Amino acid sequence: MSTSSDQQTIAICDPHFHLWDLPNRPNPNLGAAVEERLPTYLASDYHADMKTLPAPFRLESRVHVETVVGQMEGGGVVDTVSETQWVCAQLQPTAAACPFGLVAYVHLARAPEQTEQVIQQHLEASAGRLRGIRMILNHHPQNPALTWAQVESGELLRTDNFRQSMALLDRHDLAFDLSCHPHQVADAVAVLSGFPSLRVIINHIGFLHEGEDDAHEPLWREGMRALAAMPNVYIKLSMLWFACEGYHEDEAKGAKMRGIVLELIDLFGCDRCMFASNFPVDKVMGITIPELYRGFMRWTEDRPSAERSALFHDTAVKAYRLTP
């Protein structure tokens, strides 16, 4: 078990958090809720939140995930490499005590030579901290509210450029953070099955969404089974409010969310599941770090220490190749 000398301590690797500073680093893709409620969230804010971790948890490492969201041609431009440089500058002062990795944005449906060039720029800008790439793919043909900002098409997974980008990530030993809706998972499986050595990390329990039609949850479950059948695929147990808003305040909703999380743990195994804070997005939704991690703690209280260690720390460290 990954602990300090105090065997009661549970080490945390938080594999999904964000930083931003909209007054000084505009990002038109983060949305009105962020702009109104939390326009600035710096490393100091994150550390202050994580200091509220309830006993017996202690933060030992972390992975920052990009906030660019999308880069549609003709749309708002966010400098992705500049974000990597800024995040490194924010986190570097505490790196000795709490190592970090980065998941950066690269548009993976561009020409391979362009993709390679941007990957190289992120590698240089991150000074060895780059651990993965995410390009959010969430697109919904009928519901604009479920199409993420500047995601121009639901067909990107099917393109030859995207497939070649997966080969580039594999070659660079970079993980791919998969962010898509359940109806897009079949396309994801079709391309990702061709790269059995590429580490794929599903974001946010695969975007099970509350309030959809009767076909949605079975489709989500079918997709999770297909992804779990690939041994190189991991999953983040995070952003749970998207599947059940208010679960942290309502006993019945909390029980439902617990069942979904445990279902995924049984499906993927503890060595491929990782709890993540998704801060400060969950904070914007009214969820605190103590509420979040006390819930994770309750739901796993009957698990052996080795399984808990995997869920809270070891799986994330393995998936992202984190080192001190």
Evaluate if residue 275 carries a pLDDT over 90: yes
Helix and strand totals (H; E) in the chain = 12, 10
Angle between helices 289-299 and 251-268 in degrees, nearest 10: 60
Q: Name the residue with higher pLDDT: 3 or 206.
A: 206
Instruction: Tell me whether the omega of the peptide bond preceding residue 28 falls within 30 degrees of 0, making it cis.
Output: no
Q: What is the CATH number of domain 10-319?
A: 3.20.20.140
Evaluate if residue 210 carries a pLDDT over 70: yes
Domain locations in the chain? 10-319
- On average, the pLDDT of the chain sits at 96
Q: Give the tens place of pLDDT for each residue, 11-46.
A: 999 999 999 999 999 999 999 999 999 999 999 999
Evaluate if residue 2 carries a pLDDT over 80: no
Answer yes or no: are the C-beta atoms of 228 and 188 closer than 8 Å: no
pLDDT at 324: 61
Element of type H or E holding 192: helix 185-192
CB-CB neighbours of 163 under 10 Å: 18
| Nearest Cα residue to 12 out of 290, 219, 302, 287 | 290
Query: Mean pLDDT throughout 267-275?
Result: 98
Three-state DSSP state, 178: strand
**C-alpha to C-alpha distances, 141 to 45, 54, 67, 158, nearest whole angstrom:** 37, 42, 23, 15
Query: Mean pLDDT throughout 197-202?
Result: 98
Residue 312: pLDDT band (50, 70, 90) is very high
The single-letter code of the amino acid at 77 is: V
Instruction: Tell me whether the omega of the peptide bond preceding residue 93 falls within 30 degrees of 0, making it cis.
Output: no
Output the DSSP codes for 114-155. HHHHHHHHHHHHHTT-EEEEE------SS-GGGS-TT---S-
pLDDT at 323: 78
DSSP state of 313: I
Three-state DSSP state, 179: coil
pLDDT at 163: 98
| Nearest Cα residue to 167 out of 203, 200, 198 | 198
pLDDT at 3: 42
